[in-house]
């Protein structure tokens, strides 16, 4: 159920974030713009990997149920949202 962004989309988003930062007079740059953009790219990729991990954990919890639950069913969707949100809430306690 995870969503992947293409490399092109990630690069596009990183450029847009960098442009927004350049437009803000209160932002001071201490590194070259390409280094900053690459940091933004890594941040997006890290965030996507985190959500992939959460997706995997939620799916594994459903699979571990005693009763088999068919993926895509209403019950599966409800449990997935519950477990996914539980994992997100756990993250909030660690950050």
Specify whether the CB–CB gap between 92 and 66 falls below 8 A.
no
In this prediction, residues 17-22 reach a mean pLDDT of 96
Beta strands in the chain (DSSP E): none
* 51 pLDDT more than 80: yes
Backbone dihedral region for residue 27 (phi beyond 0: left; psi -120 to 50: alpha; all else: beta): beta
What per-residue confidence (pLDDT) applies to 93? 67
Name the pLDDT band for 95 (thresholds 50, 70, 90): low
* 59 pLDDT more than 70: yes
Specify whether the CB–CB gap between 40 and 14 falls below 8 A.
yes
């Amino acid at each position: 159920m995870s969503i992947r962004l293409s490399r092109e989309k990630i690069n596009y988003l990183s450029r847009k974030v960098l442009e927004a930062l350049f437009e803000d007079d209160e932002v001071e740059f201490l590194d070259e713009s390409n280094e900053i953009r690459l940091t933004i790219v890594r941040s997006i990729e890290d965030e996507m990997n985190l959500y992939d991990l959460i997706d995997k954990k939620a799916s594994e919890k459903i699979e571990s149920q005693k009763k088999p639950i068919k993926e895509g069913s209403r019950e599966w969707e409800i449990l997935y949202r519950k477990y996914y949100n539980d994992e997100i809430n756990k993250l909030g306690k660690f950050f």
